[in-house]
Amino acid sequence: MEHQAFAAGNVALVTGAALGIGRAAALKFARMGLRVCMVDLPSDDLDASFEEVSSAASDEVAAVPADVSDLKAMEGLRDSVGRHFGGVDILMNNAASRAGRGFDADLADWRRLVEVNLWGVIHGVKCFLPGMGAGGKPGVIVNVGSKQGITNPPGHPVYNLSKAAVKSYTESLAHELRTNGPTSVTAHLLVPGWTTTGKNEHKPGAWLPEQVVDYMLKGIDAGSFYIICPDGEVSEAEDRRRILWGAGDITEDRPALSRWHPDWKAAFETFEV
């Protein structure tokens, strides 16, 4: 890893660190010699992940229970991290909820999901960006999106809208950083493919969280903003085809989500980039 923000001894803060991509990122960062702050709701999973990451670390690791949707909790986290670590060089806003599904889901589930998936990202940036990039020190912000926030497949509209908002927010953040600074801090949108997360059984075709983290680091090193991960079933070329078709719904005045519209099924299947 050549990006200077990942120099040994620097500080990485990862939300949603108890399981999945967050735990894999914390473990990878610790093995790289970074000091790591693991953030998640209090749970046995967070405790177990902390033990695993600590045992692999060459430097300091802390696990701090916090709800990313709660601004006061995040402000408290910021103050605690400032006292303990002195600041943050890498901020990975990874915490996410998949509560609720369709339009008949309880509105409380919709609200909770948006509070975690979108407001959790906003709170993370609001609390930690002001302390990053001092004196031109390199910094990295990674916000974890989803392909569902780009192609918007039917089935889970509240999750899709939250991740679409994270994409829009992070695009604007990247522009703001390069325009008004601190220019030494860069923002990146990580878009995993099919990944085995949580406590789900690993299935052929899915990527492991460790593969996503390795792909993320390569993308950051290359200076990529959009880090769109393939998986064992969907190639980079297929991702491009799906994304371009979705954009064509607007430019070609097709029905919304025409990829799943019976009248456009054949056209999509023969569409070539």
User: 198 falls in which pLDDT band (50, 70, 90)?
Assistant: confident
Question: Among this protein's residues, is 169 annotated catalytic?
Answer: no
Peptide bond into 182 cis (omega under 30): yes
**What's the predicted TM-score (pTM) here?**
0.96
* Cβ-contact 209, 200 below 8 angstroms: no
DSSP 183: T
Contact 106, 100 (CB under 8 A): yes
Mean pLDDT for the chain?
Answer: 96
Q: Which residues contact 201 (CB under 8 A, 6 or more apart)?
A: none
Mean pLDDT of 147-163: 97
- Quote the pLDDT of residue 101: 83
The contacts of residue 196 (CB under 8 Å, 6+ apart) are: 20, 202, 203, 206, 207, 208, 209
One of 159, 169, 215, 226 is an active-site residue; which one? 159
**What pLDDT is recorded for position 133?**
96
pLDDT at 181 over 70: yes
pLDDT at 1 (0 to 100): 61
* Mean pLDDT of all residues in 67-74: 98
Residue 273 pLDDT class (50, 70, 90 cuts): confident
Select from 137, 155, 30, 10 the least CA-distant residue to 85. Answer: 10
